[in-house]
Amino acid sequence: MSELVPGGNLALPGGALRLRVSGPFDVSALVTDGGGKVGGDGDFVFYNQPEAPGVRLREDTLAVDPVRLRPGATRVTVVVSAAEPGTPLGRLPAPRLDVTDRSGRPVARFAPPRPEQETVLLLAELYQRGSGWKLRAIGQGYADGLAGLARDFGVNLVDDAPQPAPAPDSDGFLGLVNSARTQAGSPPVSLDARLASAARAHVSAMAAMGRLAAEGLDGVSVHQRISTAGYAYVTVGEHLVSGPRTPAEFVAYCLRTGEARHTLLGPAFTHVGLARTDAGDRYWTALWARPLSPGDLSGTAAEVVALTNAERARAGLPPLAADPPLTRAAQAHCADMVARDFYAHTSPDGSRPWDRAAAAGSRRRTIGENIACGQRSPAEVVDGWMNSPGHRANILKPEFTHIGVGFTGGGRAGTYWAQLFGG
């Protein structure tokens, strides 16, 4: 039996599987296609709708038979929420997923980092790879109940928990932004209540301090406020500004400034939240993001590997092969840096890159690690590593033959990245 960490994956045996999460939880499943969206409301399996083609829910256990899924389905995402609607998962025992095959033999187990304010958790997913199926551990949460889940997966449902009100368009802010984005060839963004809530919290913190800052007096960063609001993202940006009197002045200011303009027009962003204070110096916070979808972890890691191998090819070196144990260790380290609020090669418990690689099952004799935080894309992080002599040396080291990549959104710096090399 395999013990998985966030981002870890495992090839599954053929046939039906049973996925059980015991305890005070409601278990549900989302059946999606390659785009990460449901085909209709019938693709959401939960206590009031316990069956769909290939998926059946009985109490705390999902039975999934991949060959019987509806045509076009390539992914089944396992979701847990508190049995008592609206209860933060941090108040309950940590959930654990146990996977068994058709004969009841253990296949895998996954215990994610303990949630905090989240009320819904994307626990794991079964996904098609070629002619077979794999299991990936996720462990990403939502703080706004099933409503947040519905937004990102396209499910039309009514959540039992209180719903956040739609974010208002503050004095035409959205129209101004989307007009500028259209002229730049970027797709429009929509207002998100979770981002607006985080923006309000942060702009109030800056007003209380009387200055612009990425953290409030409470030590909470703007990115941590986004995670607390329940928005799990794959990329994020922010504007922290003082002075403008109207949304039009705020947008005009951002468009005049290089990095601020790049953020406002960023084609990767799909959502925005805005808040301001009207007294005194008028502080503004705008938050930009794209939500994390089930395939984003693997897609982001694959892009980092491809960009890294392109740099090696330019140097006349052979490509690095993706390595599952190194990937598990890299992803776990990113998740750990967010969960325990640190940024270092040595974890608070003293473990170092080679310790983590060995614990994940790696037998590579030579280990190296690059980490980074704050970058918004694979291209940005690889470019940063290549412009740092020590990191560049790891990427271009001839002795390395394999690589694992980790990525996590959230935490003090916003995004955390890791490359773990082996040879």
pLDDT tens string 358-387: 999 999 999 999 999 999 999 999 999 999
pLDDT tens profile 97-146 = 999 998 899 999 998 887 777 788 888 999 998 889 999 888 877 655 56
Q: Which of 56-70, 89-103, 138-152, 259-273 has the lowest mean pLDDT?
A: 138-152
CB 283 within 8 Å of CB 207 = yes
Joined together, the tokens standing for residue 238 give 């922010």
Distance in angstroms (rounded) separating the CA atoms of residues 88 and 117: 5
Q: Is the pLDDT of residue 294 over 80?
A: no
Nearest to 86 by CA among 118, 128, 134: 118
Nearest to 137 by CA among 328, 341, 299, 321: 328
Three-state secondary-structure class, residue 308: helix
Residue type, 213: A
What pLDDT was estimated at residue 148? Answer: 61
What pLDDT was estimated at residue 166? Answer: 43
Q: Is the pLDDT of residue 31 over 70?
A: yes
CB 223 within 8 Å of CB 191 = no
Q: Is the pLDDT of residue 422 over 80?
A: yes
What pLDDT was estimated at residue 271? Answer: 95
Radius of gyration of the chain (CA): 22
CB 76 within 8 Å of CB 55 = yes
CB 5 within 8 Å of CB 33 = no
Q: Please state whether 36 falls in left (phi above 0), alpha (psi between -120 and 50) or beta.
A: left
Our CA angle for 344, 198, 195, nearest 5°, is 100
Distance in angstroms (rounded) separating the CA atoms of residues 128 and 300: 18
Nearest to 161 by CA among 140, 146, 142, 141: 146
Q: What is the residue whose two structure tokens read 């019938």?
A: 42
- Alpha helix segments (H runs only) across 101-257: 145-153, 173-184, 193-209, 222-228, 247-256
Q: Which pLDDT band holds residue 326 (cuts at 50, 70, 90)?
A: very high
Distance in angstroms (rounded) separating the CA atoms of residues 282 and 203: 9
Nearest to 77 by CA among 13, 142, 160: 142
What pLDDT was estimated at residue 230? Answer: 80
Give the full edge-to-edge strand order of the sheet including 9-11.
Answer: 9-11, 132-142, 120-129, 75-82, 25-32, 44-45
The DSSP secondary-structure symbol of 186 reads: P
CB 288 within 8 Å of CB 269 = yes
Is beta strand 97-101 parallel, antiparallel or unpaired with respect to 44-45? unpaired
CB 412 within 8 Å of CB 219 = no
Three-state secondary-structure class, residue 204: helix
Distance in angstroms (rounded) separating the CA atoms of residues 215 and 380: 23
Q: Is the pLDDT of residue 251 over 60?
A: yes
Which helix (H) or strand (E) segment is 385 a member of? Answer: helix 378-386
Q: Which residues pair with 100 in a beta bridge?
A: 18, 106
What pLDDT was estimated at residue 96? Answer: 92
Average pLDDT over residues 315-341: 92
φ/ψ (deg, to 5) at 157: -145, 165
Q: Hey, which bits of 243-350 come out as E strands?
A: 271-276, 283-291, 321-322
Average pLDDT over residues 89-93: 83
Orientation angle between helical segments 324-339 and 296-314, nearest 10 degrees = 120
pLDDT tens profile 148-194 = 666 667 665 443 333 344 445 557 899 999 999 999 999 999 999 88
CB 220 within 8 Å of CB 205 = yes
What pLDDT was estimated at residue 145? Answer: 58
Q: Please state whether 155 falls in left (phi above 0), alpha (psi between -120 and 50) or beta.
A: beta
Q: Which pLDDT band holds residue 407 (cuts at 50, 70, 90)?
A: very high
What are the helix and strand counts (H, E) for the chain? 11, 21
